[in-house]
Structure 1
Amino acid sequence: MRVLLVHSKFPATYWGFQYSLPIIGKRATLPPLGLCTLAALLPTQWSLRLVDLNVGTLTDAELRWADVVFVGGMLVQADSMREVVARARALGRPTVVGGPAPTTSPHLFPEADALFLGEAEGRVDELVTAVEELRKPRRRLTPMTLARPEHEARPQLSHSAVPRYDLLDVASYRTLSVQYSRGCPFTCEFCDVIEIFGRVPRVKSDEQVLAELDAIYRLGHRGPVFFVDDNFIGNKKAVRKLLPVLREWQHAHGNPFQFYTEASVNLAADEPLVRDMVAAGFNSVFIGIETASVEALRETRKKQNVGVDLTAAVESLTRAGLEVMGGFIVGFDSDGPEAFEAQRAFIASVPIPLAMVGMLIALPGTQLEKRLTREDRLRFVSSGDQFSRTNFEPKMGDQALLEGYIRLLDELYSLDAYEARCARFLELIGPPAKTAPTTLVDLEIVARAAVRLGVLGERRALFWRLLARAARGGLPSIRWAITHAVQGEHMIRYTHEVVLPRLRRAASRPSRGSVGASTSSSAASRATPSVVGALLHAGGERLSTV
């Protein structure tokens, strides 16, 4: 059996860093961990190839080689997924579509031969049987649907396997990724993670994690490794056991990796856990802060953020040596016209260079979508697009939300505001537990950044000012300064060249749909995807916007 695994193309996104990648000589930020994990679960006698449309192209010859084509992705990749399905179909190759997109929105893929919904572990036999059936010459009017029965428990991650990283062109990616857990114990109304992966975090064994790190190490990767867990500390007891093991592995291998992940804000209150993370080599964490408004936090059931001094939490993590990347939301029912200035002021007050702000959207299957449907306020099923009108009727009104969001992004990613946040970060960031060795790749990135940003760049003054600020902090601070100069090139350009023009066009047009109107695939397909996420559930990686 010849299987072609296709990682669909992401549109340009904040997390894609498409304007930064050429500076550092990379093609993509992250690999398709989901497809790599699925590949490891498939029969060993099958011949596998993987094509990542974010680093290369898909040829007809590759499609003809395959007996079956596996396509996976999130809602943001749906357009690309459908294109791959259409091309395979035109060449007579059956397709299996899986991942978060078909799991939450199967109606978007009527041309697929089979839909594989949910997580893959423990279901490979079912998939193999389906693939054999697909090879029989018959025409299907509707996709074959493979779904885990509702009463059946989600799989334990002990059933997972070391991803087939060897199928990747590793040098094309800035970061490689591993997964430790799936699920999150909290109840945020807007979040689809708990609907897809559940509220009881499931974890891999320490030995499984080390085996994945070993595999990455053997392939020659050095540098960033992303733990793709939606909440790395969802199972604190297990994490406390893992971190010393990671620390020892890093020490034994010369500290080759810098880890980053996602976690809930209650991490800041657990100083021993923070110290253990830094000691193990973690240097960044994405946290869904959402808003400083207690009323909005209660409304959206973000109870873990209520009663927390969010400014102190961010500063505490930064001083401990963890960069905080923050997720923020505007458009809650309790938000009024003052919400935008409140968000701007809060973000300006904390050391968060990368502040990701999105309008609230009701993703398929979330408690928010269900509530808005009951209230007859849902306009259409979301495709994940945050840079158009939102998919429900906001209490403050469409135009007020769009115009306030435009002002907020314009201010946050002005050159002065971004530099001020970077400067605040450089003042507070604590030292790493171990200084990572400087590699030839690091030196090449520094040289490319110095030329592309410091000599030829439109924002070259920012590059040199950040370096000057960092000089007092030594090599770790200089590394941070270069990192934020490179990332800032993307954040500033993407905001002003792509996002704001789209939002302004949306603001100039009438609202799409009417309240309580279409939740059909046609409505969903009109939106252009714009947030980054996972591939197949077997890998489950997604850098949530929340």
Structure 2
Amino acid sequence: MKQVALISPKGNIFGKNEKMISFLNGSRYMDSFRLLWSGPSLGLLTVASLLPSDWECEYIDENYKVIDFDKNYDLVCISAMSQQVLNGYRIAEEFRKKGVLTVIGGIHATVLPEEASQFVDVVMAGEAEVIWPQFLEDYESGSIKKIYSEECVGQYPLTDPIMPRYDLLKGYNYPVITIQTTRGCPHDCSFCAASKVFGAKYRRKQNENIFKELMEIKKLYPDSLILFADDNMFVKRDESKELLKEMLKIDIRWIAQTDISIAKDSELLKLMVLSGCQWVVIGFESVSYSSLYGLDKNNWKLNQLPHYAESIRKIQDYGVGVYGTFIVGLDQDSSNVFKDTADFIIENYIYGANITIPTPLPGTRLRTELELQNRILTSDWSYYTFWDVTIKPANLTADELQDGVLYIYQRICDSSAADKRLITLKKIAKRRKELINEYII
């Protein structure tokens, strides 16, 4: 029987700037943000389901558990984002010294397989369901390749998906359990590599399969908060509504990532509340017309900007909190962006907010553009946290950008803003309860 370690390397949740770390670690406002970054690695759990049934798997999240490098594993599988990947390479190096076969996958390895291949035995560049079966066949025959990749990105249909091994999470007490229902994104935002990794075609699991996963999570972790880890969950609106109707049958609490267009669909909002939605993450990106222009290829978010305030109010009036994400330091941003962003968050009573810095992730259009302009300050991936400055801003200094992000958080966390937010949270909870009571009656 083979012994396999599935390892998620330690990450850096608040970046490396000491002033930011000190402030954010002491702020309860960031509890929602911690939830978003505290879930398990679905990629590794999916790999576990693809392995032969007689192989013994151990899931190790280095944020929660110390790795035993002396344990006799036959295979060590690592999945990492860019900010984790140097830790991933370190882990692989330790096991390679002992003659253990090491494999790495995840977003970073998918877009930079040649780099990753310098530190591990095998690189998985693509979706596990597509490339792992070939690796396992080669492993059994003793003829493994250095890099396994998809012939065409985004072709795995998701019609008969592999259920992740949620049972491997026993003992971790994650604040959220993640589930993925869709892959692929047609928007090709300049700062995001999703369309390159998963393709531009939007793919979605069938409702019956999604419901099976939800029931498995409910059985194993009955009181957990569920995070739908899709970039945009409700693109296929009719199928989504049917799923939410099925979810009325089970008692769960959940959060999801989506876009602002849900505000236009009252039926969807009501079903979301009734099925257990607590809050949603929406990428506003910027409150500036000039900064939103060209951010996605169809200027979709730019066209939504005039409706942001009204849409936030409607969503929260239904009892669903809006957690907004923003990027400051875009090329058209001046020093005004910090006050404007803080004012927008406070004036619209947003449930929560995450403010980040433009980060030239591998595989993004942003990185290609900034490389041509010689504006990338470092390719030390441990700084690619979205909190640390890794580029030369166009209209700000690096220090102004770093201090400006801290200023926004200080503003939205001061006592006056906190009092307003508390009132909003109570209203959201009250409205959610009213809708649920109306449904029960």
Gap change, CA 1:112 and 1:339, over 3 Å in 2: same
Report the Cα distance in structure 2 between the residues aligned to 1:393 and 1:338, rounded to whole angstroms.
Answer: 14
In the alignment, which of 282, 287, 291 is matched to residue 292 of structure 1?
Answer: 287
Letter in 2 for 1:390: T
Deviations 1:207-249 (A, max 9, x none): 111111221122242131111111101222331332212223x
Q: In the alignment, which residue of structure 2 is the partner of 1:351?
A: 349
Is residue 426 from structure 1 mapped to residue 426 from structure 2 by the alignment?
Answer: yes
Compute the displacement of 1:93 (Å): 0.5
Within 5 Å, which residues of 2 pair with 1:306-321? Answer: 306-307=303-304, 308-321=306-319
Q: Which residue of 2 aligns with 1:540?
A: none
Alignment-derived partner of residue 88 in structure 2: 81
What amino acid sits opposite 2:150 in the alignment? R
**Deviation (angstroms), 1:277:** 1.6
Map 1:48-197 to 2 at 5 A: 48-62=57-71, 64=72, 66-106=73-113, 107-108=115-116, 110-132=118-140, 144-149=146-151, 151=152, 153-170=154-171, 172-197=173-198
Using the alignment, how far apart are the partners of 1:416 and 1:82 within structure 2? 45
- CA distance 1:153–1:412, change in 2 (3 Å): closer
SS in 2 for 1:341: helix
1:68 Cα offset (Å): 0.9
Q: Percent identity?
A: 25
Tell me if 1:400 matches 2:395: no
| Residues 387 and 60 of structure 1, relative CA distance in 2, 3 Å threshold | same
2:321 alignment partner AA: E
What is the SS of the residue equivalent to 1:388? coil
Distance 1:18 1:94, change over 3 A: farther
1:140-191: CA deviations, max 9, x gaps? xxx8111112x46521112421211111225521221211111233232212
Q: Which of 258, 273, 277 does residue 278 from structure 1 map onto?
A: 273
The count of residues paired between Structure 1 and Structure 2 equals: 414
Q: 1:238-257, aligned counterparts within 5 Å? A: 238-248=239-249, 250=250, 255=251, 257=252
Is 1:263 equivalent to 2:264 in the alignment?
Answer: no
Following superposition, the deviation at residue 95 of structure 1 comes to 0.2
CA distance in structure 1 between the aligned counterparts of 2:422 and 2:85, rounded to whole angstroms: 35
- Structure 1 position 434, deviation (Å): 3.8
Residue 299 of structure 1 aligns to a residue in which SS? coil
> Measured at CA, do residues 161 and 60 of structure 1 come closer, stay the same or move farther in structure 2, by a change above 3 Å?
same
Residues 154 and 200 in structure 2, CA contact (< 8 A), matched pair in contact too: no
In 2: Cα distance, 1:373 partner to 1:214 partner? 46
SS at match of 1:431: helix
- 3-state DSSP class of the match of 1:274? helix
Could you say if the C-alpha distance between residues 130 and 54 of structure 1 is closer, same or farther in structure 2, counting changes exceeding 3 Å? farther
> In the alignment, which residue of structure 2 is the partner of 1:523?
none
**1:411 is aligned with what amino acid?**
R
Structure-2 separation of matches of 1:196 and 1:428: 36
Q: Distance in 1 between matches of 2:231 and 2:153?
A: 22
User: What is the distance in 2 between the residues matched to 1:222 and 1:72?
Assistant: 27
Partner of 1:522: none
**Distance (whole Å) between structure 2 residues aligned to residue 195 and residue 102 of structure 1:** 12
Residue 82 of structure 1: CA displacement?
1.8
* Partners of 2:46 and 2:128 within 8 A in 1: no
CA distance in 2, matches of 1:310, 1:6: 40
TM-score normalised by length of structure 2: 0.86
- SS of residue in 1 equivalent to 2:245: helix
CA–CA separation in structure 2 for the residues paired with 1:333 and 1:295: 9
Cα distance in structure 2, aligned partners of 1:327 and 1:117: 28
CA distance change for structure 1 residues 123 and 104 in 2, over 3 Å: closer, same or farther? closer
Q: Tell me the residue number matched to 2:218.
A: 217
- Aligned residue runs from structure 1 range 337-486, under 5 A: 337-381=335-379, 383=381, 384-429=384-429, 430-432=431-433, 433-434=435-436
User: Does residue 36 in structure 1 map to residue 37 in structure 2?
Assistant: no
Q: Is the 8 A contact 1:5 1:35 kept in 2?
A: yes
Q: Distance in 2 between matches of 1:421 and 1:230?
A: 26
Give me the whole-angstrom Cα distance separating, in 2, the residues matched to 1:11 and 1:261: 22
Contact map agreement 1:8 1:73 (CA 8 A) in 2 = yes
CA separation in 2, counterparts of 1:18 and 1:144?
Answer: 41
Q: By how many angstroms is 1:192 displaced?
A: 1.7
Q: Aligned partners of 1:90 and 1:74: how far apart in 2?
A: 23
**Of the two structures, which has the highest relative contact order with CA contacts closer than 8 Å and spacing of 6 or more?**
1
Q: Deviations over 1:310-354 (max 9, x none)?
A: 111111111111111110111111111211111111111122242
Task: Give the partner amino acid of 2:155.
Answer: R
Post-superposition offset of 1:61:
4.0
- CA distance in 2 between counterparts of 1:124 and 1:285 reads 33
Q: How far apart, in 1, do the equivalents of 2:200 and 2:53 lie? A: 33
Deviation at 1:415, TM superposition (A): 4.2
* Aligned equivalents of 2:189, 2:38: Cα separation in 1: 27
Partner Cα separation in structure 1 for residue 262 and residue 402 of structure 2: 33
3-state DSSP of counterpart to 1:225:
strand
Question: Following TM superposition, by how much is the alpha carbon of 1:290 offset from its aligned partner in structure 2, in angstroms?
Answer: 1.5
Give me the whole-angstrom Cα distance separating, in 1, the residues matched to 2:109 and 2:301: 30
Distance in 2 of aligned mates of 1:170 and 1:320: 35
Match in the other structure for 1:536: none
* CA pair 321-305 structure 1, distance change in 2 beyond 3 A: farther
Deviation at 1:356, TM superposition (A): 0.5
Q: CA deviation at 1:427?
A: 3.6
- When the two structures are superposed, what TM-score results if normalisation uses the length of structure 1? 0.70
Distance in 2 (alpha carbons) for counterparts of 1:319 and 1:83: 48
SS at match of 1:162: coil
Tell me how large the CA RMSD over aligned residues is.
Answer: 2.7
Instruction: State how 1:228-239 maps to structure 2 within 5 Å.
Output: 228-239=229-240
Instruction: Give distance in 2, aligned partners of 1:246 and 1:3.
Output: 35
